[in-house]
Amino acid sequence: MSVDDAIDLFALTSPRREPVDVAEPKRQDKSLLKLIGVHKRRLEWMEWQCRQALVDWRERRHVVTQIKQEWRDAKQHATDFWAGARAEFFRMEISSGKFRTAKGAYERKKLDAEKVHVRAREAANEARQAGRTYFVAKQELRAGHLRSEKLDILQKIIHEKNNPVE
């Protein structure tokens, strides 16, 4: 076997191959994952705020209920006091001077009841505002959950695109 035959034999057995261009695997984009993480933390904060707003609203409504009951009691006490004084006067158990004194006391009790009523109205306005705050927070939380669902769907679509099922 000559050298030329050996070269031909070598050429047949091991042809030179061109290097194959293999794409390097792309690094996964983590910006969406970071965004989802930030969004989840923000949602947790919004849920906490919503719970706090609900607690505040309930407490304020409870205060309104107590003040309104105080107002009703004060009004009833003034009415009962005046009815008693009138009954005594008409039964001629008290003099007209004591009756006028009782009437002055009744007017003062009515004014005190009105002051309590004003406090109740102010507390009711505060409770209404707390309720508005709660419902705004609840609405924002619902919108946040909707955005979170959209991000999860987007993440799923991107994952399926990058990792096709074979």
Distances (CA, A) of 82 to 90, 94, 96, 118: 12, 13, 14, 22
Domain assignment of residue 126, yes or no: yes
Closest CA to 140 of 74, 63, 48, 77: 48
Domain assignment of residue 156, yes or no: yes
What average pLDDT score do residues 101-125 get? 95
Mean pLDDT of the chain: 88
Domain assignment of residue 22, yes or no: no
Domain assignment of residue 121, yes or no: yes
Domain assignment of residue 3, yes or no: no
Closest CA to 114 of 155, 161, 74, 142: 74
Domain assignment of residue 117, yes or no: yes
Domain assignment of residue 100, yes or no: yes
Instruction: Place 91 in a pLDDT band, splitting at 50, 70 and 90.
Output: confident
What's the rounded Cα separation, in Å, for the pair 134 and 52?
8
Instruction: Place 33 in a pLDDT band, splitting at 50, 70 and 90.
Output: confident
Domain assignment of residue 21, yes or no: no
Closest CA to 89 of 102, 108, 77, 106: 102
What average pLDDT score do residues 44-69 get? 97
What average pLDDT score do residues 26-48 get? 88
Number of independent structural domains in the chain: 1
Q: Can you give the residue range of the structural domain that contains 139?
A: 48-161
Range with the poorest average pLDDT among 56-60, 66-70, 99-103: 99-103
What average pLDDT score do residues 153-165 get? 84
